[in-house]
Structure formats: structure tokens, C-alpha cells
Chain A
Amino acid sequence: MVDMLIMVTINGEAKRFSIAPGDLLLDVLRREAYFGVKRGCETGECGACTVLVNGKPINSCLMFGAQAEGTEILTIEGVAPDGKLDPIQTAFLDHGAVQCGFCTPGMILSARALLAGRPDPTEAEVREALAGNFCRCTGYLKPVEAVLAAAQANREAGLSGARTKSGRSRGQARKRQ
């Protein structure tokens, strides 16, 4: 076995890792202390190990580290740089979408990829986006509500000043606190 070097950008930082040719990306990332990438099933079913590779959600347990060469990876650790929460993270807190929190990083990353391409998703689109992230705690209602609320918060932030039919979800979020 010959160790190989891969160059990746993780959460905006250029990294060089020495890996074994058969290493899975999940193992590489956790070894490098990206502990927010969770090990749940190692068969690509549960989605706890979801990261974004070039903006797309993938299961890092089903991707070899070697395949990540030259890519840009976003893990949960890079979602709130400087501690400023993404609206999705805030919405997860506001809506009680976090219980044990083990599947939460994967869900948030899946949601982030969705909202990057679909700023105004339907509930069905949100459910499709989260379909690869098993959660045994919440029954999915609150995570789905949270993603929809985050989409609205994003739109309002983007349209600050502009008139929108806003109000509703904001009001709800406030009520919840």
C-alpha cells in the first residue's frame, strides 16, 4: 500500500492530507477532527455523514478520500464561520428541530444545498431534500418546518426593504420564543 496525498479545500481552507488509497472520506474527515461528520450506518442510508462536495450533498461513507482530490468540501464546522449561525441553524433551534442532534449536521447541510438552488422550496421539495437523512427523534415535522422558515428568512434578508408577504413565519418564530 502506498499512501497518497490529496489536496482539498475544506470549509474554505486549503488542506493536504496523506491518506491510504482505500480510505473513505468519512474516516479521513473524522481523523482530521471534523467530528461534526457523523458515523451512523456506513452504507449510505442514514445520511449522518453528509457533507457538501462542490456544493452537492454526498454520503462521505460512500466516497473514497481519493475521489475528493481537488474538490471543495463543506462540513457543518464551516456553516457558521465566526459563530454566526446560518438561518437554517437558527430555524432548527427556533422550531425545536434538534433533539439528540446526531443527524442534525447532515440535515442542515442537505437543507443548505437545497436552499442554494431553490430559495423558495415547496414542502415536498424539502422532504425530498431531507429524504437521505434519517432522524429517529423528531418524526421530521419540525426539521421540515425549520427549513421552510429558513427559506423565508433568507428571502426576507435578501429582500430587505422590499415588500413581501413575510410576517407570518417571523411572527411564528417569535411566538415560539
Chain B
Amino acid sequence: MNSSRSVVGKNLHKVDGYKLVTGRPAFTDDIHIPGMLYGKILPSPHAHARIKHIDTSRAKNLPGVRAVLTYKDVPRVPHTTAGQSWPEPSPYDTYLLDSKMRLVGDRVAAVAAESRAIADEALRLIEVEYEILPSILEIEVAMLEGAPVIHDEPDSTGIHDARHNVAGHILKEIGNVEEGFRESDLVIEHEYRTQRQQHCAIEPHVTISWLDSDDRLVIRTSTQVPYHTRRQVAMILQLPVGRVHVIKPRIGGGFGGKQEMVLEDICGALALATRRPVKIEYTREEEFYMARSRHPQILTIKMGFKRDGTLVANKMSVLATTGAYGSHANTVQGNTGSKVLPIYRTPNMRFECNVVYTNTPVAGAFRGYGCPQGYFAQESVMDEAAHKLGIDPVELRKKNMIRLGDIDALSAELGEGKKGLPRHIRSCGLPECLDRGAAAIDWVRKRKEYSEAALSSRRHDSHLRRGVGVACSMQGSGIAGVDWAAASLKLNEDGSFNLQVGAADLGTGADTVLAQIGAETLGVTLDKMIVYSGDTDFTPFDVGAYASSTTIISGGAVKKAAEKVRAEILRIASKMLETPADNLTCRDNMVVTKCECKKSVSMTDLAYYAMYKEKVQVMENASHWNTDSPPPFCAQFAEVEVDRETGLIRVLHLVTAVDLGVAINPMQAEGQSEGAVAQSLGYGLTEEMVLDEFGRVINPSFLDYKMLGPKDMPKLTTILVETEEPLGPYGAKSISEIPINAPAPAVANAVFHAIGVRFHRLPIRPEDVLLGLREKRAC
């Protein structure tokens, strides 16, 4: 936006790009520690059972086995695995190891052995006798009177109603929706169902843990939340926080799946038990059973409109399952309300949800964090309303959308597990997103042309129909009043800076973006920034990478720290150049005078002067948080072709127009968007973890859990609609999550345009399309 900037807004290479394209050993598992043991977890074969008897003696006696742990061997500390700020708004309902199994894949025991093969063999030698309990696999039956109680242990806390398997409950109303519906000319109400989606980071969860020479527990792990993990592991293993050192190397993708302590506690326990380095790495199959997934929801949504399209009332009720443990249960579902409903103005809004336990894989944080479910429902109804009211879907959205200067009251009611802060809209590019997106997909012409084609087509290939659809969304940028970050900057002799951040780049480009913010502020080139991130011993605190917070919150901390360093640099330069500091500025790796006299000192000379003449380390740190969470906005358009004989939906073009504030690195921002779109198209069409009647995942592999590949992806157009956000560093908001919200409903709406069938369940499988067409013909 601002052409005077030299680093921010530029498409610079990732600061870690070179090592990644050359395959340098940069990830958790890319080290080999002499004497390292292999850890393995024995998964429960039953969805709900109690261990009556467990005998590990044969496993322990197997040569090469160094430790076998069961619930009898470890402290029993209730906790949550959700990587959230203390005190976590998720129930403390999880134990390092327990005598009760609550899902297929729950931890029965853990072993550490000299090789992977011996560890596998040891698992086979553990003898377990189970008392099999009746289980709950369906969301709808969890709350019924008389249903088995999944969390009947007395020591768990923070569960809303354990006796009825309700992990969390939310009810908020603004205005009066029932009155609103009475005033409405058109009321639409439907139930929508969304599935269990998996993150499928290509790098599985992996942790290596050892005791250092001071007997401190070191945990090198693939995590998005190093600091939360340190705190949680210390609590669970009953160590002082200072005795734990968490290191986050390069991460092979997370998407929320690593905003969670999945392996660190048990790996640390094995390292303590054996006093040897221990590695645990999930297999792909274990990822599906034992990692996390997106919360499946049943959403009932009711929206009332005036004849002119004005939204009068919006009511959403959600029944979701968190699986066997309540990780992120309240907050994900809270988001389904707080980040979805307010995108359309109405005085009457009501959001209610129950999050229930079932004996199914544990749900958790996943990019979008409750929004993809909510937007599928809401954007489907918006499309239906437009159709019924005879209003163009783009126009109906424009008529009702939130605007600059608005205050979103619902988000104040629905904070992070408690009352939050009201959200002020200080920047909003949504109208431009709709306009530019519509132009990019040729909206007006294609809406008309495909509608007409559907009526007239009699050709040989008449089994093919095309359509275009739209959906909108908003997200947040950090959690208002909760997320905070710190950054530290230090000047070296050669004019380079060590930038130390607790922020956790998980492949998103956070290190690069933070370095760009630092370099811009200090007037140096990007190569002068040496970034080190996500290490609890060597970088300051950061909540971690989640809630679209890193650019705005960690970036805010970097900017503040850089401004402090800059002031110190100018103070020193002022001495060296004998001119007042306010006559100086940093530019091109130098400090230069603003006046005509054109004096300058290079950052290198300045550093030598500071270090060896003044004997001062130029070094500052800063902390940052926001009282608000500025939403990015997005409009997404899909063009599809539906084969009416096979039911296959082919997406031809997907346009994303996104208001992300100022793009710190536009190329990386586009990449974030394109990746999110790919995940959402999979969510819409092919991705689903399917369970059998015993609670086992029937498709725990990439062969049968279908992600879209390079040949499946449509043409992608990404339009960055830049606005200037006052609360963001250099005007930035966020980009990482928002584009995942609306592609699936945009596709569903495009499919309706093509074949006139609405879908209320994701993914939309070919069989569903055929069934829908058959029902339509029968009508």
C-alpha cells in the first residue's frame, strides 16, 4: 500500500527457504541422538472400557525394552491437552495414562525400547483384560438420560455437565429472535451436518525428549505452542516450569493439529523413566486415531428476512461433539457463533450450543476453529434466501453485511470461554472483496448463462451442468485481551540483528513476516535479520501460533521492540554524527540525516562504536497484546461442473478476494490462502474420517482419506484486498485461517445453481448428488 516501504509489502524469499529447498536437517526428527530409544503407545482397541487387569511383565522382560508405563506408574494430574493460555478454558478431563479407555486409540500403556521393532513387539506382550462398557458413537444420543457416562471420574474439572456428557454449553441472545421471526416475511430453517476432518499435516506428530547435562527435561517437538506445552508438561510431570525446556524446530505443517500437547507429556515421562533420549513419532494411521480432528457439528439455523432482503433475526443452535476429551470444546464452538453470525447485521441474534462427549476420536483446534461449520450453514441459507427473494446472492450479502464503524456486540458476549470484548470494525474491505471477486469469476454473465443453459440443454453431454456460487466470511486476528507475545532484538557487529520470538512458525512464513516487520522498522534489509523462534529457553514468551494471531500480535511485539532498538540506535548515531536524534532516520542499513547535510553512519560502524566504545549492548524486548481482534473479511466464488450421471462435482475455478489488512509479504499471503482453499474444497467434497459401529476409523490412510491433489485442484485466483488496520503492525490483520471458511459453501451454492439441489451435509459425495437429483425429479 505504502510505496515508501522497502521491506514490508515485498515478495521476499522466506528466511528459512534456503534450508528447506536444500533439504537441510531442520525438522524435529532430523537428528539422531546416540542411545535414543523408540517410544510407542499401546492404543485401546475398545471405544469405552475399563482396564480390569494389566500385566506388563512379559513386555518388560523382552530384551531391549527399557520402560513400560501404565496408569499405575505415573502421577494422576487432570489437565487439558489444548494449547491455550492459562487458565485454559477447556475442561481438565485428561490424564497422562488412565485406567479408563474412552476411545479406540486411547492410551493403555507406553513403552520405550532400543528399536521400533522391539517397541512394537513389547506392545504385543502387554496383557490387558478389559471390562467393555457401552459406548456412545452418535452425537444425538450423548445427552439422553441413561446414556453411559464417559467422564465419571471424580477428579476432572471444568466439565459443564459430566453426568449428561456435556463438556460445554453456551447460550447467548441479543435482542429477541422470536419477535424478529414474527416480523419476517421469509423464514428459512434447516439442519446442517458437518463431518470429522483431519489436519493431515504431512509431518506427523513427533517428539524427542531427553535429560540435558543439568538433568533438565528437554523436549524437541513438532508444536505450535511451545510455551503452553512447557507449562502443561511441567504440571503433568510435576516438575517446576524452569526444569522443562521446549524446542520447536521447523514444523511440517500444523493447521491447529499441533496446537495441542499430543505426545510431549508421555515422551517426557518415558525420558524421565529411562534417563535416555526417547523419540515418539505417530504413524499415519495413529494420526487418525490418536491425534485431533475438526469437531463434527449438527447445526440448526433459522434466519428471518424482510421482503427487501433485510435480515431481521438469526438463530443458530449447535450440537457438536468433542470426541472423548474436551480439548477446545467450548472455544471452537463459541467461535461458530461469535465469528459467523455477526457478519450480517441484525438486532436479533441467538446462539446456543452443546458440546458433548462421545467415544470417538478427539476433536481439537483446526484452521477456521468452528467457522467452517457455521459458515457452511449460514451461507447456504443466505443463498437460499436470495433465491427465494429473487435477489442476487451478492446483493443480499452486501445489503446485510457488517460495515466500517460497526460494533459487533455478539463477540463481546462470546469471548474465549468467558465474556469477551466488543469488536469494533476499524477496517473493512468486504464490499470490495465482493465486487472484485464477482468480476474475476464473471459473476453476472455466468449466473445468467448457466441458468439458461440448464433449461435449454438437450445436447449429448447434457449430463454436465455448470454453476457459480458465492459465500462470505470473517475471522479474527488474535484473541482480544488474551493473546500476547514478546520479542527481543539484539544488534551485532556486522549490523545484523538477532530477532528472538516465542512465535511458532509452523510453515506459515511467520519467521519471515516478523523479520520483515523488524527490518522495515530498523531500515535494514531482510538478510540482516537472524530469526530464532519458539524455544522456551532462548526466546521470550508467546502464546503460540493459533487464532490468526502471529502477524498482528507477535508482529506488534516485534515492531515495538524494533522501535525501542531504533531509538537507541538513533541516540548513539546522534553522538557519532553530532546531530540531534530527531534529525536522523534508519534506511538502507545506515543511519542517515534527514536534513540536506547528508551525513550517515553504517549500521556496522554504529554497532562497533556501541559495543567497543560505548560498551553497550543495543538490545530491547517488548510485549504486545490487543484489546480487540480485527476481523479479516473474505468473499469466495466457485464455478463448478456437475456430472448428473456420476454425481461427480468438478470445481473449475475458485476465486478468493480477501481483506487481510496490509499484506506484509503478498506472495506468502497468497500461498496461505491457496492452501486454505485446498483444505476447504476437500472438506466440501472428499474429506471425512468415517467410523464403524465399534468406533474404529475405517479410513486411517491417505489411500482412503481423500485429500485433493494437484490434478484435482481448480484454477485459483487470489485477490488481496488491502485495507489499513489501525491496530495491526503496518496495517496488517491476518490471512492464515479466513480463506478456509467459505469455499465449501460457495461450492454447495454453485452446485445448487447448476442442478437445483441443496445439500445439508458435508462432504457432498457423488452419491449424495445422485440422491438429490432423484428426490428433485420425484418432486
Contacts and interface: CB of A to CB of B under 8 A. Distances in A.
Do A and B touch directly, given a CB cutoff of 8 Å in the complex? yes
Interface of A: 31, 33, 35-43, 45-46, 48, 75-77, 79-80, 83, 85, 89, 92-105, 108, 126-128, 130-131, 133-144, 175-177
Interface string B1-44: 00000000011111011111111111101101000000000000
B678 interface: yes
B597 to A, nearest CB: 33
A41 B14 contact: no
B677 A40 contact: no
A92 B405 CA distance: 41
B670 interface: yes
Nearest to A40: B202
B13 A100 contact: no
A40 B675 CA distance: 18
Given A134-B707, A142-B674, A177-B12, A89 B22 contact: yes
Contacts of B27: 35, 38, 102
Given A131-B711, A176-B11, A96 B668 contact: yes
A40 B204 contact: yes
B670 A96 contact: yes
The range of chain B's interface size is 35 or more
Contacts of A99: 253, 507-509, 668, 671-672, 675
A91 B138 CA distance: 49
A137 B507 contact: yes
B177 interface: no
B703 A140 contact: no
Contacts of A175: 11
B281 interface: yes
B255 interface: yes
Given A40-B203, A41-B701, A100-B507, A139 B677 contact: yes
Contact of B667 (A76, A80, A96, A143): A96
B401 interface: no
Contact of B703 (A45, A48, A94, A101): A45
B702 A138 contact: no
B87 interface: no
Nearest to A127: B710
Contacts of A105: 23
Nearest to A176: B11
Contact of A85 (B22, B32, B677, B702): B22
A40 B674 contact: no
B255 A136 contact: yes
5 contacts: A38-B252, A46-B702, A102-B203, A136-B201, A177-B13
Contacts of B21: 80, 85, 89, 92-93, 98, 101, 104, 108
4 tightest A-B CB contacts, nearest first? A100-B507, A36-B23, A101-B20, A102-B252
Given A99-B508, A134-B702, A144 B12 contact: no
A136 B20 contact: no
Nearest to A43: B701
A146 to B, nearest CB: 10
A139 B702 contact: no
B27 to A, nearest CB: 7
Given A93-B14, A100-B252, A102-B253, A142 B23 contact: no
Interface string B380-417: 00000000000000000000000000000000000000
B316 interface: no
Contacts of A40: 202-204, 284
Given A42-B283, A85-B22, A98 B253 contact: no
Contact of B11 (A45, A96, A126, A141): A96
Contacts of A176: 11, 667
A31 B36 CA distance: 13
Interface string B219-255: 0000000000000000000000000000000111101
Interface string B195-206: 000011111100
B23 A136 contact: no
Contact of B250 (A46, A79, A95, A101): A101
Contacts, number: 184
A27 to B, nearest CB: 9
Contact of B678 (A77, A100, A130, A139): A139
A105 B203 CA distance: 13
Interface of B: 10-14, 16-27, 29-30, 32, 199-204, 250-253, 255, 281, 283-284, 506-509, 667-668, 670-672, 674-679, 701-703, 707, 709-711, 713, 716
A108 B18 CA distance: 13
A140 B678 CA distance: 8
Contact of A104 (B13, B20, B668): B20
Contacts of B17: 92-93, 98, 101
A113 to B, nearest CB: 15
Contacts of B678: 136, 138-140
Given A131-B711, A138-B674, 18 more contacts: A35-B24, A39-B281, A43-B284, A76-B23, A77-B22, A85-B22, A92-B17, A92-B21, A96-B668, A98-B21, A136-B199, A137-B507, A139-B671, A141-B713, A141-B716, A144-B710, A176-B11, A177-B11
A139 B670 CA distance: 10
Contacts of B22: 36, 76-77, 79-80, 83, 85, 89
A55 to B, nearest CB: 18
Nearest to A128: B711
B302 to A, nearest CB: 34
A115 B237 CA distance: 52
A29 B526 CA distance: 35
B711 to A, nearest CB: 5
A95 B12 CA distance: 10
Nearest to B680: A139
A39 B282 CA distance: 10
A75 B23 contact: yes
B507 A102 contact: yes
A176 B10 CA distance: 8
Contacts of B284: 40-43, 46
B252 A134 contact: no
Nearest to B667: A96
Contacts of B204: 39-40
A128 B709 CA distance: 10
Contacts of A126: 710
Contacts of B18: 85, 93
Contact of A139 (B200, B250, B506, B716): B716
A127 B281 CA distance: 30
A137 B675 contact: yes
A100 B281 CA distance: 18
A134 B202 CA distance: 8
Contacts of A101: 16-17, 19-21, 26, 250, 252, 507
Contacts of A102: 27, 201-203, 250, 252-253, 507
Contact of B707 (A92, A108, A136): A136
A48 B707 CA distance: 15
Given A93-B18, A134-B702, A136-B707, A100 B667 contact: no
Nearest to B31: A35
B13 A35 contact: no
Q: Which of the listed residues B202, B253, B670 has the most CB atoms from chain A within 10 Å of its own CB? A: B202
B25 A35 contact: yes
A50 to B, nearest CB: 11
Nearest to A41: B284
Contact of B713 (A46, A95, A140): A140
Q: Which of the listed residues A39, A130, A133, A177 has the most CB atoms from chain B within 10 Å of its own CB? A: A39
A25 to B, nearest CB: 16
A5 to B, nearest CB: 20
Contact of B710 (A41, A45, A130): A130
A93 to B, nearest CB: 5
B507 A96 contact: no
B203 A100 contact: yes
